[in-house]
Amino acid sequence: MTDGQRAECIRIAIFNDGHDTIATLSAWFTAHGHQPLSARLQDMRIADTEAGAFIGRNKADVVVFDVGLPYRANWDFAEVLQLLPGAIGVPFVFTTANKIELEKLVGPTSAYLLTGTPDNLEGLMKIIEATART
């Protein structure tokens, strides 16, 4: 275990639509001793309540939610999701590939600009570890 890793395994729900991004994040989180739980946003939208059930059923400690196109629709979905049974009280870490465009639509956010470089992924890991409930 490296200095950057926590002693306990964090269950990280990844909500993203990019197969490559899900694979990259899953591999990164696994390499850091955590358990990735991935779901495509598109699939979770079919029945909003399924997303909350997914979080609760998997006992996620934190959700990494990608706010991609369409930004407003994804942002609104994230806000609703946080209020659903299973997701209430679980912290969210928001990511986006275009923070400038996202914030033009929804205002200032704490969304993390995800580029996928090693330094960027290390920064995301630190945010997740600081955010995850214990």
pLDDT band at 6 (very low <50, low <70, confident <90, very high): very low
* 106 within some domain: yes
| Dihedral sign for Cα atoms in the order 119, 22, 89, 110 | positive
Residue in the structure block whose two tokens are 């991609």: 68
Average pLDDT, the chain: 89
CATH number of the domain enclosing 124: 3.40.50.2300
Q: What is the pLDDT of residues 72-117, one digit of tens each?
A: 999 999 999 999 999 999 999 999 999 999 999 999 999 999 999 9
* 43 within some domain: yes
C-alpha span between 86 and 130 (Å, rounded): 21
* 5 within some domain: no
- Backbone Cα Rg of the chain: 14
* 21 within some domain: yes
Q: If residue 66 lies in a helix (H) or strand (E), which one and from where to where?
A: strand 62-66
Q: Is 77 left (phi over 0), alpha (psi -120 to 50) or beta?
A: alpha
Q: If residue 113 lies in a helix (H) or strand (E), which one and from where to where?
A: strand 112-113
Q: How many CA atoms lie within 13 A of 131 on its CB side?
A: 21
Q: What is the pLDDT at residue 48? A: 58
- pTM score of the predicted model: 0.89
Number of domains in the chain: 1
